[in-house]
Structure 1
Amino acid sequence: MSAAPGAVRDLATLPKAHLHLHFTGSMRPTTLVEMAAARRLRLPRGLAESEALRVEPDARGWFRFQRHYDAARAVVDSEAAMRRIVREAAEDDAAEGSVRLELQVDPTSYAPFVGGLTPALEIVLDEAASARRATGVDIGIVVAASRTRHPLDARTLARLAARHAGAVVGFGLSNDERRGTTADFAPAFRIARDAGLASLPHGGELLGPSHVRDVVEHLGPDRLGHGVRAAEDPALLERIVELGIALEVCPASNAALGVFRSADEVPLRALLDAGATVALGADDPLLFGSRLLDQYETARALGLDDTALAGLAAASIRASRADEESRRRMLRGVDAWLAQVPGTSGDSAAEVRAAQRT
């Protein structure tokens, strides 16, 4: 069977790993509105009307982003709400071809409602295991500290993450890159690495190459959340490639926060041409109105053909913390997708997920 002229393969059926998704930011807009109404909480207009957020890349813009994020987080005040977010994140990822999801959560904000940090994390872990059985999406949890809090808080979270190593696959550092001193968080990352957890800090989005160097030097990342600003310094980018640090690139997020004027200006091609390992991510689809599949559509619009898109998906799987057997199965699914004749039916991602349920 030959392909129809101009036919392309369905990106929703391409097996892929989603490695940059935040817990609250993964919430469905309809879920947010429903839970806010039940709690009689007033949402900012943009959130209430599901408008994609766009701000300037300055302190005022970040404040607006943080205000929206905090408003969304305020509805997550129970075990049931936490479980719903995890389950729906897995369902939504499954619908877009994800076979592996690494969901990032800071349990600090939810701890007061469920009896502490440990119960908050264990709720997420338990529901992640249940969601895997229901959807077939392989799920790992990343515990993340915040730059806006004291580095000692990060150590507490690192110890918590270490106690749950296995179900917890990595330790991150998020929030405004302009806050805190990167080196002060290094002890927390040592605790995590000693427990076998991946080092997954954010870096190189709001701030440029010097900040990326700082994060690389002090936190020893296995993957770098965003990292797109490394493209501004070829020597730095070459070093990242040499070290094997994968970049979790989130085009819609970069555009929404004003790092680039539009998603198609994100230097994805430059990163790939330099040999960087890139895993596309949605970051906070609740706020940015753009999910994982949209990031792959953006890559296609930038001129990546199906072979290159399959390469992106394969890179995301290799950069994940899935076990070796699971990675091999996922990669076979990518090969099967690419072997399909463009324009014909077939769902390689669904087949991989079905195998993972067993």
Structure 2
Amino acid sequence: MVRQPGAEAAVEHERRRSGPVHGRPRKRPDLDRHRPHARACAGRGLRRGRPEHRTGWVRRCRRFGGGASGCRGARARKEFSVTALPKVELHLHLEGGAPPAFIRGLAAEKHVDISGIFDAQGAYKYRDFWDFLKVYEAATSVLTTPEDYRRLTLAVLEESAASGVIYSETFLSPDFCGGRDVGAWREYLAAIRDAADEAEAKDGIVLRGVVTCIRHFGPEKARETAVCAAETAGDWLVGFGIAGDERAGALKDFVWSFDCAREAGLRLTAHAGEWGGPESVRDALDDLGVERIGHGVRAIEDLALVDRLAEDGIVLEVCPGSNIALGVYPNWRAHPIDRLRERGVKVTVSTDDPPFFHTTMSHEYDQLADAFDWDEGVFADLARVSALAAFCDADTRATILKKLEQT
């Protein structure tokens, strides 16, 4: 697993330089030193890497005299159900949410052999971020019709609703839906919307779409993607962004695409600050004029940039489980989301590509509660920040906020 050079060292430098915040030391004991005990306390049937791994294990440790005293380095947290908390997710790739079993089944229906992208247990397998991109595109290759995307959308939203998500924005790419042909894209989009309406009627979850161009596909294809987005912008398709390999090309090469989307009334986000470092966050703000940043966590390596994010109210779509699975950070306590939040940055929590990273929204919440002692109040604040940062229309936002206030 590849880790971005210098990322961990820079995080440690920032921690030492900044010292305590609000009287609390930044350095916290690392539960990873106690994995043998954690595994012993985890109960039967839990495998490392699955979303339920270590879920609520601090509570289980009490059976063995646990809590802060019985499990050195672990701190007892107030017990509450993270699944029951209403959640708003702003960073979810539709294809990236495809359950492995769904993709395997679809491949079997079409007699396509993509067995190499799965491990012995049937989960997605990859070596590092760049191998992940190849596996992602291989999985996506079996999604070839609007009906495939209708079924995919239902499967993804069922998983999200089960985790307590009441509103989600999903990234869609005409690159995968009709080859950037506007007519074909309309057919795919209609199928996705039909599935979203069905899921909303069944489970109450609301979905909106954000088109993304793919950075490593180049600026010319991004222009075609932007035209598709502009032609279908409206009350359901509400945003435009860029995803893919941050090292491929300069963001300034995509200005035309973002200007096109902006003129169509779409709101803007960009993947940055994951592998490209803090400079990529600054480029997204300066060159593309976005109001949200996908990931953005490596801004922590530049405190002046952190201050700018806080002062300008830029919202970060943070995906901690994704960052840890890909090796950007070694564990949950090393993740900078808590420090960014303490410094006034508006952070939200999302899953990115949940089955690829063995996570769910409930799993993200549970791990954050254990790592940083976050309680219901913190998560309620996160959900409200997410709702206010959503790209949806005012009436939809008001409905989401009302649901949040009722819990």
> TM-score with structure 2 length normalisation?
0.75
> Which residue of structure 2 lines up, in the alignment, with residue 63 of structure 1?
130
How far apart in 2 are the matches of 1:331 and 1:116?
Answer: 35
How far apart in 2 are the matches of 1:292 and 1:169?
Answer: 22
How far apart in 2 are the matches of 1:165 and 1:324?
Answer: 16
- Structure 1 runs (4+) greater than 6 angstroms displaced: none
What pairs with 1:12-31 in structure 2 (closer than 5 Å)?
12-31=83-102
Q: Aligned-residue CA RMSD in angstroms?
A: 2.2
> Which residue of structure 2 lines up, in the alignment, with residue 184 of structure 1?
253
**Structure label with greater radius of gyration:** 2
Q: Pick from 227, 239, 253: which aligns with 2:296? A: 227
Deviates more, 1:316-325 or 1:24-33: 316-325
- Match of 1:179, SS state, is coil
Structure 2 letter corresponding to 1:332:
K
Deviation at 1:48, TM superposition (A): 6.3
Structure 2 letter corresponding to 1:314:
R
1:1-55 deviations in whole A, cap 9, x for unaligned?
xxxx975332222222111110111111221221122223232253563446564
What pairs with 1:52-201 in structure 2 (closer than 5 Å)?
53=125, 55=127, 61-111=128-178, 116-166=184-234, 167-201=236-270
> Which residue of structure 1 lines up, in the alignment, with residue 121 of structure 2?
49
- Match of 1:141, SS state, is strand
How far apart in 2 are the matches of 1:62 and 1:6?
Answer: 33
Q: Are 1:21 and 1:102, in contact at CA under 8 Å, matched by a contact in 2? A: yes
1:227-260 deviations in whole A, cap 9, x for unaligned?
0001111110111122221100001111122111
Deviation at 1:218, TM superposition (A): 0.6
Q: Are 2:180 and 2:228, in contact at CA under 8 Å, matched by a contact in 1? A: no
> TM-score with structure 1 length normalisation?
0.85
Deviation at 1:75, TM superposition (A): 1.6
What residue ranges of structure 1 are gaps of 5+ in the alignment? Answer: 56-60, 338-358
Distance 1:54 1:315, change over 3 A: farther
How far apart in 1 are the matches of 2:120 and 2:196?
Answer: 27
Q: Which structure has the higher relative contact order (CA within 8 Å, separation 6+)?
A: 1
Q: Are 1:54 and 1:257, in contact at CA under 8 Å, matched by a contact in 2? A: no
Identity of aligned residues (%): 34
Deviation at 1:177, TM superposition (A): 0.2
Structure 2 letter corresponding to 1:63:
W
Structure 2 letter corresponding to 1:64:
D
Deviation at 1:316, TM superposition (A): 1.3
> Which residue of structure 2 lines up, in the alignment, with residue 268 of structure 1?
337
Distance 1:112 1:157, change over 3 A: closer
Structure 2 letter corresponding to 1:273:
E
Q: Pick from 357, 374, 394: which aligns with 1:304? A: 374
How far apart in 2 are the matches of 1:155 and 1:128?
Answer: 27
Structure 2 letter corresponding to 1:110:
C
Deviation at 1:279, TM superposition (A): 1.3
> Which residue of structure 2 lines up, in the alignment, with residue 32 of structure 1?
103
Q: Are 1:161 and 1:192, in contact at CA under 8 Å, matched by a contact in 2? A: yes
How far apart in 2 are the matches of 1:120 and 1:328?
Answer: 28
Deviation at 1:280, TM superposition (A): 0.6
Deviation at 1:306, TM superposition (A): 1.5
What residue ranges of structure 2 are gaps of 5+ in the alignment? Answer: 1-75
> Which residue of structure 2 lines up, in the alignment, with residue 285 of structure 1?
354
Q: Which has the higher helix share?
A: 1
